[in-house]
Amino acid sequence: MQPIIELRNVWKIYQLGEVAVPAVKDVSLKIHKGEYVVILGPSGSGKSTMMNLVGALDVPSKGEILLDGKDIGKMTESELAQLRGKKIGFVFQQFNLIPSLNATQNVELPMMFYGAPPGHRFERAQMLLTQVGLSHRLTHLPTKLSGGEQQRVAIARALSNDPEVILADEPTGNLDSVTGLHIMEMLDKLHKQGKTIIMVTHDIEKVKHAERVIELKDGKILKDRRIRE
């Protein structure tokens, strides 16, 4: 079975003045449809760079990244944005909501880029917000929402184009423990519904939610192990 995301001998090297700094070093991995993968590592391990590469937000310095079998290094930015937008929904630690748009409008935004009719966008956004427990917050601006509510909006937004993959970067990092647990329960539920979940985190407690853990250290994969089927 063809993986959704595949990295082949991938390096990411940043040039700081005259010094070349490798953030990711010769990484190869495959992620298949329906997996729940945690990419685990401490600060400085290369997690953020790995997230950008796995999510096709960045291209490698060396090696190949295939998204749905297509080499992202050979695609135009427009082609890549189209493919990425249909395949991957992103959930970030900082929520990254547009402050001038209300909850419904924030969820509608990714659908606008794919030409979805206004009526469809509006109905789907409200349906997704209701699914994440925010039917009473549809017209609220982000500043009027709690951190947990903002992250729920972000999850609804990530689901707007019905992607196969949800890529979550420290999704509970700015939340209290109880709210964070609710967000993890939502991700678990999405996985049971068939979504591929990739979570990038430093928190070893998150491992218990996953089927597979990829441990990073100094830009390399230290371990890649399956915890459960």
Each of the 229 residues of the chain gets a pLDDT tens digit; together they read 789 999 999 999 999 889 999 999 999 999 999 999 999 999 889 999 999 999 999 999 999 999 999 999 899 988 988 888 889 999 998 999 999 999 999 999 999 988 889 999 999 999 999 999 999 999 999 999 999 999 999 999 999 999 999 999 999 988 999 999 999 999 999 999 999 999 999 999 999 999 999 999 999 999 999 987 6
Q: Which fold has domain 33-58+76-226?
A: Rossmann fold (3.40.50)
What residue ranges do the domains of the chain occupy? Answer: 33-58+76-226
- From 32, 34, 113, 36, select the one nearest 68 (Cα to Cα): 32
Distance CA 132, CA 139 (A): 15
pTM (two decimals): 0.93
**Backbone phi, psi, residue 147, to 5°:** -60, -45
Partners of 216 in the beta sheet?
Answer: 221
Is 98:153 a contact under the CB 8 Å cutoff?
Answer: no
Please give the radius of gyration of the chain, using alpha carbons only, rounded to the nearest integer: 18
